[in-house]
């Protein structure tokens, strides 16, 4: 295989001026030097910066700021003292109003890059829906545990490193998640429970996971361990009860694999309830340790209301909820639909979806295990044809077979819920063969990070 040629004339260590044009998909500033793309973390649109090249790639360069010649009026001081070390947030140095504008622009740039069939300048891409208070919004923390100089740490690995940054406070986490984590760290320290060492693969406790119900106040603590046995386990449970009486569910998950995945396959309730409760609008959900649930419940209500608005149901429609998970979106719309049918490849998710539907008294819902590209043709052959399809795929986007199935059976509307602008753009480009993009509504689910979600409404071209 021939070696890829590089057109980059910049060399590592070179210093040069760059004017930043926009925010990139990972939150970095994007500029050009001698017509070559340069990515500069921490730089903002409109800024003139002197940078030093740190990495050279065939079609672009990465660089770090040496000096800011002209500052953006939207640059602010990040309130987090560990912002430049942690890497969990990318945009705390940009005012929140400017973040919302940048996230809309990230969607537009993705469409320009990946959606050749669409005239992006004529699309209705709406202003990003933000939060009134864009702090302390995450209902779940997953902090890695480590040791340094005999002290138990819990936090995230630093930006582009494997150095653990201890987070005793986090501005985007619900305060209860960090409070519980800090007390659990102290308990582990006091009881001298062995902390897992990735390098030597010895020790026990790997990760502290805390989830809080925003509307119920319920708290669940999960200790992810490398071994089933926990030294002084009964004393550990006793101390958690004593120092954290508000924790309703104490769970152990065992993950002895050499992996970056947080959870293993084996889960055991050590004390209290298996589930905690959370509510969205007038719906309530039981959350087990490994159940997926949106991390920002305040914005989730806004996101789901946008899905409802895009679907514009009248009570007569048959609706398919592809990638349905535990059924949250389908149940949000069920009162306005004639029938909701959902599918997911994870059997446990479908069981939860059925339970959630039964608990709320819905009789017009039907959930099955499998892929939409299998079930849709089967249902149509049986005489059941959907009017509206909602897709909420993972970051990689919709399965190609699902897109082909939608184009084949042509429901009147498709509502696409996206967590990745690049895959959204590619999938809209495929669906544009038969569908008109009515509008795209970005929603800020994760303030101060580069993530942006969007709801796109597609209407069949007759």
How far apart are the C-alpha atoms of 263 and 372, rounded to whole Å?
A: 27
Query: Rounded to an integer, what is the distance from CA 448 to the centroid of its chain?
Result: 13
Q: Which helix (H) or strand (E) holds 343?
A: strand 339-344
Contacts of 30 (CB under 8 A, 6+ apart): 20, 21, 22, 23, 24, 37, 38, 39, 40
Half-sphere exposure of residue 88: CA atoms within 13 angstroms, side-chain side = 25
Q: Which helix (H) or strand (E) holds 136?
A: none
The contacts of residue 163 (CB under 8 Å, 6+ apart) are 157
Please report where in the chains the tokens 């939207």 appear, as a residue.
74
- Residue recorded with tokens 């994870």: 346
Rounded Cα distance between 255 and 262, Å, is 8
Strand residues in 84-229 grouped as ranges (E): 140-148, 151-157, 164-166, 205-212, 219-225
Residue 114's SS3 state is helix
User: Is 419 a known active-site residue?
Assistant: yes
CB 247 within 8 A of CB 272: yes
User: What residues does 163 pair with on adjacent strands?
Assistant: none
**3-class SS at 200?**
coil
DSSP label at residue 2: P
Out of 86, 89, 170, 419, the active site residue is 419
Picking from 412, 409, 460, the residue whose alpha carbon sits closest to that of residue 436 is 460
Mention every residue, 6+ apart, whose C-beta is less than 8 A from residue 192. Answer: none
What number of residues does the chain have?
A: 462
Residues tagged active-site: 419
């Amino acid at each position: 295989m021939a070696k890829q040629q590089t057109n980059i004339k910049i060399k590592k260590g070179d210093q040069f001026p760059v004017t930043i044009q926009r925010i990139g998909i990972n939150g970095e500033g994007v500029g050009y030097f001698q017509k070559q793309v340069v990515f500069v973390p921490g730089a903002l649109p409109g800024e003139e910066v002197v940078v030093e090249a740190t990495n050279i790639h065939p079609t672009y360069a990465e660089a770090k700021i040496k000096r800011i010649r002209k500052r953006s009026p939207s640059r602010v001081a990040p309130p987090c003292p560990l912002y430049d070390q942690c890497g969990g947030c990318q945009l705390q140095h940009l005012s929140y109003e400017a973040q919302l504008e940048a996230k809309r622009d990230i969607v537009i740039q993705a469409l320009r890059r990946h959606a050749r069939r669409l005239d992006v300048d004529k699309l209705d891409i709406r202003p990003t829906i933000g939060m009134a208070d864009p702090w302390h919004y995450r209902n779940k923390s997953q902090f890695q545990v480590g040791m340094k100089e005999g002290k138990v740490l819990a936090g995230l690995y630093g930006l582009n490193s494997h150095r653990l940054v201890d987070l005793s406070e986090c501005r985007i986490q619900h305060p209860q998640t960090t409070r519980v984590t800090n007390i659990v760290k102290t308990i582990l320290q006091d009881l001298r429970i062995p902390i897992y060492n990735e390098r030597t693969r010895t020790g026990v406790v790997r990760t502290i996971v805390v989830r809080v119900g925003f509307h119920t106040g319920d708290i669940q603590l999960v200790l992810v361990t490398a071994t089933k046995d926990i030294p002084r386990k009964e004393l550990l449970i006793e101390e958690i009860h004593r120092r954290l009486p508000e924790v309703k569910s104490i769970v152990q998950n065992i993950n002895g694999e050499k992996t970056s995945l947080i959870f293993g396959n084996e889960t055991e309730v050590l004390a209290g309830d298996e589930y905690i409760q959370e509510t969205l609008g007038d719906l309530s959900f039981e959350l087990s340790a490994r159940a997926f649930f949106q991390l920002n419940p305040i914005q989730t209500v806004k996101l789901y209301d946008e899905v409802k608005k895009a679907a514009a149901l009248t009570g007569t429609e048959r609706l398919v909820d592809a990638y349905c998970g535990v059924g949250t979106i389908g149940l949000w719309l069920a009162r306005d639909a004639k029938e909701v049918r959902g599918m997911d490849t994870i059997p446990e998710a479908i069981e939860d979806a059925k339970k959630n539907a039964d608990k709320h008294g819905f009789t017009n819902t039907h959930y099955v295990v499998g892929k939409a590209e299998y079930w849709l043709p089967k249902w149509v052959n049986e005489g059941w044809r959907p009017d509206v399809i909602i897709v909420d795929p993972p970051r990689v986007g919709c399965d190609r077979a699902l897109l082909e199935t939608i184009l084949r059976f042509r429901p009147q509307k498709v509502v696409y819920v996206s967590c990745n602008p690049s895959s959204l753009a590619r999938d809209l480009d495929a669906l544009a063969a038969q569908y008109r993009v009515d509008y795209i509504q970005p929603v800020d689910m994760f303030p101060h990070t580069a993530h942006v979600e969007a709801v796109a409404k597609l209407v069949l071209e007759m």
